[in-house]
DNA sequence: ACAGTGCAATTTTTT
DNA sequence: ATTGCACTGT
């Protein structure tokens, strides 16, 4: 390994095609010996300088993870251990990639264009795949499908198999196949027993059928971008060797989020230099539900023999109270490598973490709104304030309240620009024009706007295409020459095809943005929305304009299409001051002075579904989510519990989250809600029928552990009792009297897929009593008096 | 071909 | 309560 230093890759004489080599060398020359290492703490410095061999950097929240990563790259460059294009640096999101690029730019003073292999897993996957497409049965101009396209394709396949789409939804098949792909499994590799998961043993059959269709369409889905790379490397050792040779250093961000396919991909590539550095935090792994394997990070030392592990535990972000709360909470997780954050910020005035009990979600929004106004009055910037929710339906209450208050807010996340229907329609037009063989694009827009080309006509085109083995557009072209179609649809179709031909002739002569506008206008698509009277039509037209505007940055239509296939996000640099509202998931990686954490109730947080579907594993992931939430706060973390919440239109009274009991009382203040109105006299919903609530006792943290349901839920209650403050939980009778112990908690922690058994008597809100006939995961087939129904198990209860 | 009706589900999200 | 969907009837 050390001979890398003995014989540095000898910056050769400048060659054509190696971008900006001279300028980078010149920049490096100008650098002082190691100014970039100053200001790093010893662990960070070790992580930066230790560039040979496998290294895992366990970087807790706020410990300077990105700084280490970028400085390390800077160091590799400065020591001439590798040239920019010999470094492979992967991230998960485009945002992270962009940020890293910027920071490296600042570090080395400018040009980072030489770093061609800094990007997301997927973008690097595409890059590799396009070079060797023919080796895996694709052409190098293959299209990349998104979820929408995938679903439509799968729906077709399910129909083709004569299966009932209601019973076997495409969505579910997609999840299944996606799961297999995440685990790096091709259809042949899917384990026997799993092959039967979908529609009585059709799972794998559909998977291979799907893959065959993709090949015919010359298309890949996101999973394939990695999976096909794996196949490429395995079947072509020479190709793999080429990349071994190329990549001297590998760096991976957010390693705890990698799935198995990504792990295999990395491992194959790392076999070359062995210089792989993964940075991550097992305590922040919150994407298990979409295939991330915490195990990857937990097993690092076995996977990469001789690996070093460096822990970054000095936190530069939060106050000691906040860190203590988060650290204590996370110790309740068992599957973790273990790390303790130490506060570097000293602040004797620091506020403790607060827990506030409120009556319902509206009081919650009111209280938080008022507190934000207070902060604002005392000079805090709204951009430094965030509300982090578990589920997006919680956002609405806050939006409603903030609109009434006139408080500026912004919702982060939500539907992405490029996923909106109007944008996808427009893109489908462009795709169908650029790639006449793109059947999915053609299908999408053939009758949008309405042209009178319905199912009947489409079926004829399909059949013709199928029998001739040609793309839909071509088949349509042939069909309109014949008399097989009725005059009306025939003309409509002929018109459309002629328009496409017309547009294609303009491709060379017209500027791509003008052509785009022309297509949208001439096709009648713009008109369709102009005539639409619904409230969001103007917004959609605005989006279409925005789309054309964003095309300006690219020099051709195909170039633009390639870009957006991978980069589904858009920079919205909103400059005005506003409170951010987002989910806990989308808050990862961000930080705010003040963080509000509403909805800490059993069933919502931890979410019932996480518990039901993944048991203890699910609970631990929820706990990590709580950890992520708290550690976003620099100065203030404020938690809220509502006694009542409306779920699916029904009012339910709720049990405070078990996570509250896992916070260290020493660092927490329990507060009364500021706005106490709203509680009194409202006993109709869940009056104090159970007598004294456990929150009437003196110490909430202690008392909750005495609840039988609590003990059952947790398995063991091993927390010490003697405690400090005599703080009251819910203060007024309004909030304290509504809590009913038990059931929800007790039943939440089950490791079994379904807690029901065959032949059992159950009750359903709507269908009444019934008997369980069969069980498929969490889906039950039940015989009711009105007939058999398929129901999710959380919709019925034992009887 | 399309509009209106009834039924079922409803965590988290990137590429 | 709301919403998105599949099916039915014109």
pLDDT tens-digit series, residues A244-297: 999 999 999 999 999 999 999 999 999 989 999 999 999 999 999 989 998 999
Could you say which nucleotides of strand C lie within 7 A of any protein CB atom?
Answer: 1-2, 6-7
Catalytic one among A43, A178, A224, A253? A253
Angle subtended at Cα A181 by Cα A429 and Cα A131, rounded to the nearest 5 degrees: 60
A254 an active-site residue?
yes
pLDDT at A676 over 70: no
Angle subtended at Cα A330 by Cα A328 and Cα A332, rounded to the nearest 5 degrees: 90
Closest residue by Cα to residue A83 from A289, A246, A275: A246
Catalytic one among A65, A401, A490, A658? A65
Catalytic one among A284, A356, A526, A727? A284
Distance CA A237, CA A246 (A): 14
Read off φ and ψ for residue A413, nearest 5 degrees.
95, -140
**DSSP summary character for residue A792:** E
Average pLDDT of chain A to the nearest whole number: 81
Alpha-carbon separation of residue A302 from A55, A75, A297, A310 (angstroms): 12, 27, 10, 15
Helix axes A260-273, A237-246, angle to 10 degrees: 70
| E-strand stretches of A474-546 | none
Alpha-carbon separation of residue A657 from A441, A544, A722, A755 (angstroms): 46, 44, 22, 22
Q: Which nucleotide is nearest to A169 (CA to C1')?
A: C5
Query: Left if phi > 0, otherwise alpha if psi is -120 to 50, otherwise beta: which for A64?
Result: left
Please give the structure tokens belonging to residue A631: 């550690």
Distance CA A60, CA A378 (A): 31
Confirm if A356 and A639 have CB atoms less than 8 A apart: yes
Distance CA A617, CA A263 (A): 20
Closest residue by Cα to residue A454 from A465, A443, A463: A443
Q: How confident is the model at residue A604 (pLDDT cuts 50, 70, 90)?
A: very high
Name the closest residue (CA) to the C1' of nucleotide B11.
A391
Distance CA A656, CA A641 (A): 6
Alpha-carbon separation of residue A159 from A143, A167, A472 (angstroms): 24, 12, 18
Q: How confident is the model at residue A671 (pLDDT cuts 50, 70, 90)?
A: confident
Residue A648, CB, strand C, below 7 Å = yes
pLDDT of residue A483: 83
Distance CA A799, CA A797 (A): 7
Confirm if A244 and A273 have CB atoms less than 8 A apart: yes
Distance CA A53, CA A667 (A): 41
Residue A456, CB, strand B, below 7 Å = yes
Q: Which nucleotide is nearest to A165 (CA to C1')?
A: C6
Closest residue by Cα to residue A215 from A124, A145, A128, A120: A145
A792 CA – B9 C1', rounded, Å: 9
Alpha-carbon separation of residue A585 from A188, A564, A569, A775 (angstroms): 34, 23, 16, 32
Condensed to tens digits (0 to 9), the pLDDT of residues A419-472 reads 888 888 999 999 999 989 888 899 889 988 888 888 788 888 888 888 898 999
A650 CA – C2 C1', rounded, Å: 12
The residues near A695 (Cβ < 8 Å, ≥ 6 apart) are A357, A703, A728, A729, A730, A735, A736, A739
Query: Left if phi > 0, otherwise alpha if psi is -120 to 50, otherwise beta: which for A683?
Result: alpha
Residues counted in chain A: 799
Residue A166, CB, strand C, below 7 Å = yes
Residue A646, CB, strand B, below 7 Å = no
Confirm if A735 and A679 have CB atoms less than 8 A apart: yes
Residue A30, CB, strand C, below 7 Å = no
pLDDT of residue A722: 27
Could you say which nucleotides of strand B lie within 7 A of any protein CB atom?
Answer: 1-2, 8-15
Condensed to tens digits (0 to 9), the pLDDT of residues A40-70 reads 999 999 999 999 999 999 999 999 999 999 9
Confirm if A745 and A761 have CB atoms less than 8 A apart: no
Residue A400, CB, strand C, below 7 Å = no
Cis peptide before A606 (omega within 30 of 0): yes
Confirm if A251 and A87 have CB atoms less than 8 A apart: yes
Read off φ and ψ for residue A148, nearest 5 degrees.
-60, -50
pLDDT at A682 over 50: no
Long-range CB contact pairs, A471-480, < 8 A, 24+: A471/A436, A471/A437, A471/A438, A471/A439, A471/A442, A472/A439, A472/A442, A472/A443, A473/A432, A473/A436, A473/A437, A473/A439, A473/A442, A473/A497, A473/A500, A474/A436, A474/A437, A476/A442
Condensed to tens digits (0 to 9), the pLDDT of residues A527-566 reads 888 887 777 788 888 889 989 998 988 888 988 988 888 8
pLDDT of residue A788: 56
A205 CA – B5 C1', rounded, Å: 36
pLDDT at A241 over 80: yes
Condensed to tens digits (0 to 9), the pLDDT of residues A178-197 reads 999 999 999 999 988 887 77
Q: Which nucleotide is nearest to A568 (CA to C1')?
A: B15
pLDDT at A648 over 50: yes
A65 an active-site residue?
yes
Residue A453, CB, strand B, below 7 Å = yes
Strands A787-792 and A55-59: unpaired
Residues 772-791 of A with CB under 7 A from strand B: 789-791
Q: What is the three-class DSSP state of A779? A: strand
Please give the structure tokens belonging to residue A234: 């395995």
Catalytic one among A43, A149, A178, A254? A254
The residues near A593 (Cβ < 8 Å, ≥ 6 apart) are A380, A381, A384, A385, A633, A634, A635, A636
Burial string for A210-243 (b: 16+ CB within 10 Å, else e) reads bbebbeebbbbbbbbbbbbbbbbbeeeeebbeeb
Query: Left if phi > 0, otherwise alpha if psi is -120 to 50, otherwise beta: which for A466?
Result: alpha
Q: A231-245, A595-609, A731-745, A776-790: which has the minimum mean pLDDT?
A: A731-745
Please give the structure tokens belonging to residue A335: 């599957």
For the whole model, what pTM was predicted? 0.79
Name the closest residue (CA) to the C1' of nucleotide B8.
A791
Confirm if A127 and A120 have CB atoms less than 8 A apart: no
A166 CA – C6 C1', rounded, Å: 9
Residue A764, CB, strand B, below 7 Å = no
Read off φ and ψ for residue A355, nearest 5 degrees.
-125, 125
Residues 566-585 of A with CB under 7 A from strand B: 566, 568-569, 582-583, 585
pLDDT at A38 over 70: yes
- The secondary structure of A318-361, three-state, reads CCHHHHHHHHHHHCCCCCCCCCCCEECCCCCCCCCEEEEEEEEH
Q: Which nucleotide is nearest to A649 (CA to C1')?
A: C1
């Amino acid at each position: 390994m050390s001979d890398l230093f003995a014989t540095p890759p000898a910056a050769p004489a400048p060659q054509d095609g190696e971008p900006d080599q001279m300028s980078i060398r010149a920049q490096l020359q100008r650098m002082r010996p190691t100014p970039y290492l100053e200001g790093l703490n010893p662990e960070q410095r070790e992580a930066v300088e230790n560039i040979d061999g496998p290294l895992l950097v366990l970087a807790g929240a706020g410990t300077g993870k990105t700084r280490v990563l970028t400085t390390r790259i800077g160091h590799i460059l400065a020591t001439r251990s590798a040239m920019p294009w010999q470094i492979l640096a992967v991230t998960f999101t485009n945002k992270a990639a962009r940020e890293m690029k910027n920071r490296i730019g600042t570090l080395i003073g400018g040009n980072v264009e030489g770093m061609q292999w800094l990007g997301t897993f997927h973008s690097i996957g595409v890059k590799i795949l396009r070079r060797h497409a023919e080796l895996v049965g694709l052409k190098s101009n293959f299209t990349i499908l998104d979820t929408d396209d995938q679903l439509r394709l799968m729906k077709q396949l399910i129909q083709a198999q004569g299966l009932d789409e209601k019973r076997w939804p495409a969505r579910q098949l997609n999840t299944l196949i996606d799961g297999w792909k995440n685990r790096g499994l091709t259809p042949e590799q899917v384990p026997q027993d799993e092959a039967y998961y979908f529609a009585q043993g059709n799972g794998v059959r559909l998977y291979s059928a799907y893959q065959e269709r993709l090949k015919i369409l010359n298309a890949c889905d996101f999973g394939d971008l990695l999976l096909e790379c794996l196949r490429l490397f395995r079947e072509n050792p020479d190709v793999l060797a080429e990349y071994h040779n190329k990549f001297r250093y590998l760096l991976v961000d957010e390693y705890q989020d990698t799935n198995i396919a990504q792990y295999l991909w990395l491992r194959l590539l790392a076999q070359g230099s062995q210089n792989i550095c993964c940075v991550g935090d097992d305590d922040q792994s919150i994407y298990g539900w979409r295939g991330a394997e915490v195990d990857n990070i937990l097993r690092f030392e076995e996977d990469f023999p001789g690996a070093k592990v460096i822990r970054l535990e000095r936190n530069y972000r939060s106050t000691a109270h906040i860190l203590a709360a988060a650290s204590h909470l996370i110790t309740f997780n068992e599957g973790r490598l273990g790390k303790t954050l130490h506060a570097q910020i000293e602040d004797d005035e620091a506020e403790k973490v607060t827990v506030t009990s409120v009556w319902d979600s509206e009081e919650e929004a009111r209280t938080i709104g008022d507190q934000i106004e207070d902060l604002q009055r005392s000079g805090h910037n709204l951009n430094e304030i965030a509300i982090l929710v578990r589920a997006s339906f919680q956002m609405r209450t806050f939006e409603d309240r903030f609109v009434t208050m006139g408080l500026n807010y912004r919702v982060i996340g939500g539907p992405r620009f490029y996923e909106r229907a109007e944008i996808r329609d427009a893109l489908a037009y462009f795709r169908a024009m650029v790639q006449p063989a793109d059947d999915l694009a053609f299908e999408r827009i053939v009758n949008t706007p309405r042209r009178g080309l319905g199912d009947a006509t489409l079926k004829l085109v399909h059949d013709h295409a199928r029998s001739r083995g040609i793309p839909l557009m071509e088949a349509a072209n042939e069909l309109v020459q014949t008399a097989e179609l009725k005059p009306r649809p025939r003309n409509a179709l002929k018109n459309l095809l002629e328009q496409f031909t017309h547009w294609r002739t303009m491709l060379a002569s017209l500027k791509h943005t003008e052509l785009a506008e022309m297509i949208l206008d001439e096709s009648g698509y713009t008109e369709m929305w102009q005539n639409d009277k619904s409230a969001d039509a103007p917004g959609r037209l605005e989006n279409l304009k925005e789309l054309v505007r964003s095309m300006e940055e690219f020099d051709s239509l195909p170039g633009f299409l390639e870009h957006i296939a991978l980069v589904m996000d858009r920079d919205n640099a909103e400059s005005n001051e506003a409170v951010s509202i987002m989910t806990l998931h989308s808050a990862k990686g961000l930080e705010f002075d003040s963080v509000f954490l509403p909805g800490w109730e059993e069933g919502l947080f931890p979410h019932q579904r996480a518990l039901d579907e993944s048991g203890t594993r699910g609970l631990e992931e929820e706990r990590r989510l709580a950890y992520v939430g708290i550690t976003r706060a620099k100065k203030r973390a404020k938690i809220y519990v509502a006694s009542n919440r409306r779920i699916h239109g029904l009012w339910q009274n709720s049990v405070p989250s078990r996570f509250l009991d896992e916070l260290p009382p020493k660092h927490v203040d329990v507060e009364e809600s500021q706005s106490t109105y709203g509680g009194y006299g409202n006993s109709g919903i869940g009056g104090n029928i159970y007598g004294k609530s456990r929150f009437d006792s003196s110490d909430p943290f202690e008392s909750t552990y005495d609840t039988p349901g609590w003990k059952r839920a947790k398995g063991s209650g091993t927390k010490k009792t003697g405690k400090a403050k005599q703080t009251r939980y819910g203060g007024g009778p309004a909030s304290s009297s509504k809590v009913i112990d038990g059931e929800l908690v007790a039943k939440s922690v089950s490791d079994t897929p379904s807690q029901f058994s065959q032949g059992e008597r159950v009750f359903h809100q709507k269908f009444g009593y019934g008997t369980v006939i069969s069980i498929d995961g969490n889906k039950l087939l039940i015989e009711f008096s009105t007939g058999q129904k398929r129901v999710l198990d959380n919709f019925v209860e034992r009887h």
